[in-house]
A and B are shown apart, each in its own frame.
Chain A
Amino acid sequence: QKEVEQDPGPLSVPEGAIVSLNCTYSNSAFQYFMWYRQYSRKGPELLMYTYSSGNKEDGRFTAQVDKSSKYISLFIRDSQPSDSATYLCASHFPNTDKLIFGTGTRLQVFP
């Protein structure tokens, strides 16, 4: 079992839709969770960073962590074609600075 699992997609939605991207993780010691966005032929860029359980909102993006079920989500409201990218979830190995990534979900928002 991979430590961070993510459905690779692709996920195709119309402009304006609410998008839900999800990951599960297996290591209960994980505490910090991140979502990165990666455009084609670019490096990933940090989108959201959360600690432990709860929600964090930033504009159209909401990150949610449920530690009881080891489930992390990213919601995108009013999705735009410019949101088309691969979204990677990640967490820190406990007591290290090493990140472990999911495989990424490719999202396409069509006009």
Chain B
Amino acid sequence: GAGVSQSPSNKVTEKGKDVELRCDPISGHTALYWYRQRLGQGLEFLIYFQGNSAPDKSGLPSDRFSAERTGESVSTLTIQRTQQEDSAVYLCASRLRVGQETQYFGPGTRLLVL
């Protein structure tokens, strides 16, 4: 596809369950970001992948959160033992290369933890 895609678009889960969120970046984009957007709040940086470098995980809120990226393609954000405060929109963005200013965002995954 032409843009960043994310799946699922919506996810409802029970507290304590694990969830996996998927991001397909724009082909050829070396940088990939995950953000969290809580209702009424700005985007919160979670993790950043750049090529084959070690990811910047400094924004992950707890060890229940992890993410992987296969080469310069798909990324998966995993939240283990979900809590109600994890309810948010999780946004993925990709960028062609470091220094190129535009991050292209996907539509997000809306996660609701009951």
Q: Is the CB of A97 within 8 A of B42?
A: no
Report yes or no: B40 in contact with A100, Cβ–Cβ below 8 A.
Answer: no
Q: How far is the CA of A41 from the CA of B101 in the complex (A)?
A: 23
A97 to B43, Cβ gap below 8 A? no
Interface contact tally, CB-CB below 8 A: 56
For the complex, count residues of A whose C-beta is within 8 A of B: 23
CA A49 – CA B99 in complex, angstroms? Answer: 13
**Contacts A96-B56, A98-B48, A98-B56: A46 and B42 contacting too (C-beta < 8 A)?**
no
Q: How far is the CA of A84 from the CA of B70 in the complex (A)?
A: 37
**Which A residues touch B103, using CB under 8 A?**
46, 99
Return chain A residues, CB-CB under 8 Å to B48: 97-98
**8 Å CB contact of A8 from B40, B45, B91, B95:** B40
From 39 to 83 in chain A, residues with beta carbon under 8 angstroms from any chain B beta carbon are 41-46, 49
Give, as a whole number of angstroms, the nearest-CB distance from A103 to chain B: 4
In the complex, the answer to whether A43 meets B107 with C-beta atoms within 8 Å is yes
Chain A residues 8 to 62 lying within 8 A of chain B, measured CB to CB, are: 8, 32, 34, 41-46, 49
Nearest CB on B from A26, distance (A): 14
Q: For A43, give its contact among B44, B91, B102 (CB under 8 Å).
A: B91
Q: Are A88 and B107 in contact (CB under 8 A)?
A: no
Q: How far is the CB of A85 from chain B (nearest CB, A)?
A: 13
Residues of chain B with a CB closer than 8 A to A98's CB: 33, 45, 48, 56, 58-59
B108 at the A/B interface (Cβ < 8 Å)? yes
- Which residues of the other chain, A, contact B40 by a CB distance below 8 angstroms? 8, 103
Q: How far is the CA of A43 from the CA of B56 in the complex (A)?
A: 22
Inter-subunit contact B101/A43 (CB<8 Å): no
Question: Is B105 located at the chain interface by the 8 A CB criterion?
Answer: yes
Other-chain residue from B4, B50, B102, B104 in contact with A97 (beta carbon distance below 8 A): B50
Asked if B98 and A49 sit within 8 Å, CB to CB, the answer is: no
Question: Chain A nearest CB: distance from B83 CB in Å?
Answer: 22
Q: Which are the 8 A-B pairs with shortest beta-carbon distances? A: A43-B105, A101-B42, A101-B43, A103-B42, A98-B45, A46-B102, A49-B101, A44-B105
